[in-house]
């Protein structure tokens, strides 16, 4: 019998996600935004009993062109992550881990996988700067920017909370955001797997072949 962990529902149907201040080690900077029924089935991923619907986001890509997320990724295995390029630790680590795992795939599978990075700091992450940053991670990664309210609403559709960037006393700007990557099935276009910031390149390497097929790792 598959074991289920049931938590009190709040805000949206999501796994228990939290806001993380990139560069902050203060546990008080993390707070749960959603609790729901989830099912632990893999070592790396949280498998959702009720998968997410892909966000209805129409933003701007790194070439300055309109990008309809649902339309452009329909029927394709897709990983979506919300973060920002000035993040000193979590965001580049997660994208690097995914990039390492993607490179281990056969060329045909690499071409199928869509990795979408949506900025939580659109004022500073222009299409140009976002494109430059993502090229250093993996040139195939898709970068999206736009107005903050639209991005925030899209993130909440998949249970990820983000706050507007905040200027700290030392002059730095931090962006509070959930640090989870959500995998969407090419068969259903539903987000059924959630990966935390602790997911390693090896974890992604093991799971990506099945994600590409629309299977549960």
- Listed range (32-46, 107-121, 158-172, 175-189) with the worst mean pLDDT: 32-46
Span 8-19, mean pLDDT? 38
In angstroms, the CA 158 to CA 53 distance is: 7
* Burial bucket for residue 182 (CB in 10 Å: 0-12, 13-18, 19+): buried
Residues 180-207: tens digit of each pLDDT: 999 999 999 999 999 999 999 999 999 9
State how far the Cα of 133 lies from the Cα of 36, in Å rounded to an integer: 34
| Inter-helix orientation angle 201-213/90-103, to 10° | 60
Contact, 38 vs 52, CB < 8 A?
no
Confidence of residue 41 (pLDDT cuts 50, 70, 90): very low
Residue 157, Cβ neighbours under 10 Å: how many?
Answer: 16
**Per-residue pLDDT averaged across 144-169, rounded?**
92
How many angstroms separate the Cα of 172 from the Cα of each of 26, 108, 120, 133, 162?
16, 41, 15, 19, 18
- Say whether pLDDT at 104 is over 60: yes
| Amino acid 137: pLDDT | 95
Please report which confidence band the pLDDT of residue 22 belongs to, taking 50, 70 and 90 as the band edges: low
Q: Can you tell me the mean pLDDT for 98-127?
A: 97
Q: Please, are residues 77 and 185 in contact by the beta-carbon 8 Å criterion?
A: yes
Pick from 190, 185, 189: nearest CA to 208: 185
Chain mean pLDDT for the chain: 84
Higher-pLDDT residue of 176 and 123 is: 123
């Amino acid at each position: 019998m598959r074991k289920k962990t049931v938590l009190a529902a709040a805000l949206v149907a999501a796994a228990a996600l939290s806001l993380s201040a990139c560069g902050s080690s203060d546990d008080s900077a993390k707070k749960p935004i959603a609790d729901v029924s989830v099912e632990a089935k893999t070592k790396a991923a949280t498998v959702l009993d009720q998968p997410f619907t892909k966000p209805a986001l129409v933003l701007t890509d790194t070439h300055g062109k309109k990008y309809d997320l649902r339309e452009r990724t329909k029927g394709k295995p897709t990983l979506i992550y919300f973060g920002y390029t000035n993040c000193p630790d979590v965001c580049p680590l997660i994208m690097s881990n995914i990039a390492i795992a993607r490179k281990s795939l056969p060329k045909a599978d690499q071409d199928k996988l869509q990795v979408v990075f949506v900025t939580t700091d659109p004022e500073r992450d222009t299409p140009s700067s976002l494109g430059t940053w993502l090229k250093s991670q993996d040139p195939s990664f898709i970068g999206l920017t736009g107005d903050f309210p639209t991005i925030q609403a899209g993130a909440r559709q998949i249970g990820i909370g983000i706050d507007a960037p905040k200027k700290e006393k030392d002059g730095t700007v931090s962006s509070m955001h959930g640090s989870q990557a959500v995998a969407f099935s090419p068969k259903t276009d539903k987000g059924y797997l959630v990966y935390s910031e602790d997911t390693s390149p090896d974890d992604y390497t093991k799971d990506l072949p099945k994600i590409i097929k629309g299977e549960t790792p």
